[in-house]
Structure 1
Amino acid sequence: MAMSTQQPANIAPLKEAPPAPARILIVEDDGDIARMLVDLVKGNGFEAASVANGIEMDRILARHGFDLILLDGMLPGEDGFSICRRLRSSGKTPILMLTALREDIDRILGLELGADDYVTKPFNSRELMARIRNILRRASDHDGPPAVLEPMTFSGWRIDPRSRELFDAEGAQVSMTTAEFDLLWAFCCHPNKVLTREQLLAMTHAGSAGPIERSIDAHISRVRQKIEPNLKDPTFIKTVRLGGYLFASKVERLP
């Protein structure tokens, strides 16, 4: 007797559970702004929690994990820039800084300390959400199945795109942010070739709403601090006047 392949009427087919919404921690001491940010983030389909200072932030991070930290630069006690430096030295959670500072040197300070992006106050809500989505999308891409890519080596350094790790000539791992790793990997894929800031933005941010062009300079400064023997006379990442940057090293693929 042939067996029926139809499911009983009272048993619904299994459905794949939708992915959990990203969790965003807002570190903002202004109560009105914090509430507005929580409402904005939740209204766009994410989960959100807010704290007013670094001490409260440490307490909640000890109990819960977050996919992104929205960090105000001007906080009472430990300021946001100090918190950014501390967070980056101990973890890889993406950081988006909010700052009221207007000077370029101040606005990119957070990037130099390891933030993934920043928005200045007062900010446009749509722009802020676009930057949040961009950071989360890039982080999600890196968490997915690794591409079939081979590690590379340059002057004793080893960079592995599968684990997204960088090791110095002595085998010690060097901590890098997502943006810093993306930049160094782009250089290793195009050694001894001048790359413009626009090309580097396209390679590392996929043309979506990312940091302004000047942020490339800030991230490159951070990469140089980690790989250059002499910051006053870089030997790896060279600035090409009116051109961009050039990675002056022999790069070899590893099996």
Structure 2
Amino acid sequence: MPRTILVVDDDPHIRQLLVFALAKAGLESIEAGDGEEALALAASHAPDLVVLDINMPKMDGLEVCRRLRAEGEMPILFLSSRDDEIDRVLGIELGADDYVVKPFSPREVVARVVAILRRAAARAPEGDKAAPAIRHAKLALDLDGWRAEWAGTEVALTVTEFSILRVLATTPAKVFSRDAIIDRLHGPSFAVTDRTIDSHIRNLRGKFTAVGGHDVVETRAGVGYRLGPCSGAS
């Protein structure tokens, strides 16, 4: 079945451009012109992903993201009207999976939407009954069910957060540069800044620290990230 994308922007011209571009990629769209309408449509239509403008009347995109994240892990791609690092990083820290800065190419937005959907829809290789779980000390990842657990307690992660953790956990001895993580998530030459990866890692650490997982991800200064010992030692 076609995936449904909720496009949220107070500019009808931008919505029209994105809906047209998404349709060419085989994706269905529904539209909202403000934050309140976006929340109502998200509740009634359960879209597969939300393309969400940050600056809107009635309720801005950051607050919409906050409320959506309180309800579940629906993928979110932010649109930012200016090249403002604070807005972008705050959006990622609230749980957005990616962002695009205006003015943007509709093709770039579609490419990022497709990349996020591809990660969300990843399944076990054909012929396998189930993808193997990854266990490392107190950390457990159910690759088929896209579930992360710490000492038996589920930790709710966004699509991108789970994908990053899976990359690290699949090769626990390897130190991944930020570029290497981006390549694993999106493919080579995909334009994502180092700061975005740092924000996702910060989110991961915060969520696991809240349940006692202080050592899930290690930073190797000047190199990148690797999976930590996952023992719970502070």
Compute the TM-score of the two structures, normalised by the length of structure 1: 0.79
Question: Aligned partner of 1:165: which letter?
Answer: R
Question: Do the aligned residues in 2 keep the contact of 1:117 with 1:210 (CA within 8 Å)?
Answer: no
Pairwise CA distance, 1:210: 5.9
Q: Tell me what 2:136 maps to.
A: 153
* Superimposed CA distance per residue, residues 13-46 of structure 1 (whole angstroms, 9 cap, x where no aligned partner): xxxxxxx322111111122222232233224332
* Superimposed CA distance per residue, residues 185-220 of structure 1 (whole angstroms, 9 cap, x where no aligned partner): 222223243221122222333437463333111110
Q: Tell me what 2:148 maps to.
A: 166
Change (3 A) 1:62 1:27: same
Change (3 A) 1:92 1:32: same
Q: Tell me what 1:5 maps to.
A: none
Q: Name which of structure 1's ranges 87-96 and 37-46 shifts more when overlaid on structure 2.
A: 37-46
Q: Tell me what 1:246 maps to.
A: 226
Return the match for 1:40 from 21, 24, 33.
Answer: 21
* Residue 181 (structure 1) aligned with residue 184 (structure 2): no
Q: Tell me what 2:107 maps to.
A: 126
Give the secondary-structure state (helix, strand or coil) at the position aligned to 1:77.
Answer: coil
Question: Do the aligned residues in 2 keep the contact of 1:192 with 1:249 (CA within 8 Å)?
Answer: no
Pairwise CA distance, 1:112: 1.5
Question: Do the aligned residues in 1 keep the contact of 2:124 with 2:131 (CA within 8 Å)?
Answer: no
Unaligned runs of 5+ in 1: 1-19
Question: Aligned partner of 1:157: which letter?
Answer: L
Give the secondary-structure state (helix, strand or coil) at the position aligned to 1:55.
Answer: helix
Unaligned runs of 5+ in 2: none
Pairwise CA distance, 1:98: 0.4
Change (3 A) 1:50 1:143: farther
Query: Which has the larger Rg?
Result: 1
Question: Do the aligned residues in 1 keep the contact of 2:134 with 2:170 (CA within 8 Å)?
Answer: no
Q: Name which of structure 1's ranges 81-90 and 208-217 shifts more when overlaid on structure 2.
A: 208-217
| Count of matched residue pairs | 228
The Cα RMSD (Å) is: 2.6
Change (3 A) 1:29 1:119: same
Q: Tell me what 2:97 maps to.
A: 116
The within-5 A match list for 1:1-255 is 20-142=1-123, 147-154=130-137, 156-169=138-151, 171-207=152-188, 209=190, 211-228=192-209, 235-249=215-229
Compute the TM-score of the two structures, normalised by the length of structure 2: 0.85
Pairwise CA distance, 1:133: 1.8
Q: Distance in 1 between matches of 2:211 and 2:140?
A: 19
Change (3 A) 1:68 1:229: closer
Identity %: 36
Pairwise CA distance, 1:105: 3.1
Change (3 A) 1:192 1:250: farther
Question: Do the aligned residues in 2 keep the contact of 1:101 with 1:107 (CA within 8 Å)?
Answer: no
Give the secondary-structure state (helix, strand or coil) at the position aligned to 2:96.
Answer: coil
Q: Distance in 2 between matches of 1:39 and 1:210?
A: 23
Question: Do the aligned residues in 1 keep the contact of 2:6 with 2:50 (CA within 8 Å)?
Answer: yes
Question: Do the aligned residues in 1 keep the contact of 2:5 with 2:50 (CA within 8 Å)?
Answer: yes
Q: Distance in 1 between matches of 2:53 and 2:196?
A: 18
Q: Distance in 1 between matches of 2:85 and 2:66?
A: 19
Q: Distance in 1 between matches of 2:24 and 2:187?
A: 26
Question: Aligned partner of 1:190: which letter?
Answer: T
Question: Aligned partner of 1:245: which letter?
Answer: Y
Question: Do the aligned residues in 2 keep the contact of 1:27 with 1:50 (CA within 8 Å)?
Answer: yes
Pairwise CA distance, 1:113: 1.2
Q: Distance in 2 between matches of 1:128 and 1:216?
A: 18
